[in-house]
Amino acid sequence: MNQIKGPGIFLAQFIQDEAPFNSLSEIGQWVADLGYKSVQLPTWDKRIFDLELAYESDSYCDEVKGTLQDLGLQISELSTHLQGQLVAVHPTYDKQLDAFAPLEFQGNAQARTQWAIAQLKMAATVSEKLALTAHASFSGSLLWPSVYPWPQRPSGLIDEGFAELAKRWTPILDTFLDRGVDVCFELHPSEDLHDGATFERFLTATNAHPAANILYDPSHFVLQQLDYLAFIDHYHERIKAFHVKDAEFRMNGKSGVYGGYQDWQHRPGRFRSLGDGQIDFKQVFSKLTQYGFDGWAVLEWECCIKDAHEGAKEGAPFINKHLIKPAQRAFDDFASSQADSQLNRQILGLME
């Protein structure tokens, strides 16, 4: 069996305007000192990583790798979560999501979509340059306003939405496939790909595209009340990236999965720092190891209660504690015997 690598950390939630959180070298030193071995790099903040420059310049890619290597770090994946969100945007969210794009594309949905698609294709090439095999992103959403089946959906609406999503993503997936990189969709509420059923619809619409894969994050499944362990049994062949993020769902008499428009602290379902939620990470790591997952275990911190720095400090030892060295031999090998076809037939009563 293969072994999960770790610990890694997604830098997006830790970037700030002040040092050491506003440059790659300094934030890299910070996470290395905390015990992390890899970083998942967001590609929308040029202070940390300049995607366009990386696409144009091999020397910049070498510089980034060298900076991290000097700190004992690797890149686990690049992330285009914000750009991926803009590949497909329902008009309801145009104003809210405009901020994810450069100023010159805001207010022009078509131009913004083309920019996002170009960003994803660029990220495929850069991932290949950096010798990465997985990439983290969102799918975007045309259908999220219709997630609840009331008012009644017109016949064919969902099929049409997934057909359009597949039309936009297939050229991107083709580019990633050509570069030898898997697109790992973080299955997330507000995305058209938010659970196993929607991921299967997307696979059908893309003819089971081999580059369409999953970033497994059990926290989103806790908030949706989906069996996050059984999910691994169903989809392990497509799980190519892993966010280690905890969550809890505490049922009450006032609100449920939809959260009652409350802030994160008051919702029944909320994200927590590692070890403070309800996720059985022993079973998560065991199942992923059993199925041969050999990617990075990457902390994504989004707790609404604990300080971010405390969460990051606790994250590396937590992941290290859960990493499993796979068994190299069966526990009962001491009692094994050599293969003997004649003996086997005798045991089965098949000798003439």
Instruction: Classify residue 131 by its DSSP letter.
Output: T
Contact 220, 182 (CB under 8 A): no
Q: What is the model's pLDDT at position 335?
A: 60
Q: How far apart are CA 324 and CA 327, in angstroms?
A: 9
pLDDT beyond 90 at 331:
no
Rounded distance between C-alpha atoms, residue 233 and residue 224, angstroms: 18
| Residue range 172-201: mean pLDDT, rounded | 98
Nearest residue to 270 via CA among 253, 252, 246, 254: 246
d(CA 194, CA 148): 13
Identify the band that residue 352 occupies on the pLDDT scale cut at 50, 70 and 90: low
Show me where the domains of the chain are located.
5-347
Give mean pLDDT, residues 236-256: 98
Whether the per-residue pLDDT at 38 is higher than 80: the answer is yes
Over residues 253-312, the pLDDT tens digits come to: 999 999 999 999 999 999 999 999 999 999 999 999 999 999 999 999 999 999 999 999
Integer Cα distance of 234 and 226 in angstroms: 12
CB 231 within 8 A of CB 221: yes
Average pLDDT rounded to a whole number, residues 315-319: 98
Q: How far apart are CA 188 and CA 205, in angstroms?
A: 19
d(CA 101, CA 169): 18
Domain 5-347: CATH superfamily is: Divalent-metal-dependent TIM barrel enzymes (3.20.20.150)
What phi and psi, each to the nearest 5 degrees, are found at residue 289?
-65, -45
What pLDDT was estimated at residue 332?
A: 61
pLDDT mean over 111-117: 98
d(CA 118, CA 104): 15
Question: What pLDDT, on a 0 to 100 scale, did the predictor assign at position 102?
Answer: 97
What's residue 346's pLDDT?
83
Dist. CA 11–CA 21, nearest whole Å: 9
pLDDT in tens, 65-100: 999 999 999 999 999 999 999 999 999 999 999 999
Q: How many whole angstroms separate alpha carbon 165 and alpha carbon 159?
A: 10
Over residues 40-67, mean pLDDT: 98
What mean pLDDT do residues 185-203 have?
Answer: 98
Cβ atoms of 175 and 203 within 8 Å: the answer is: no
Q: Work out the average pLDDT over 237-241.
A: 98
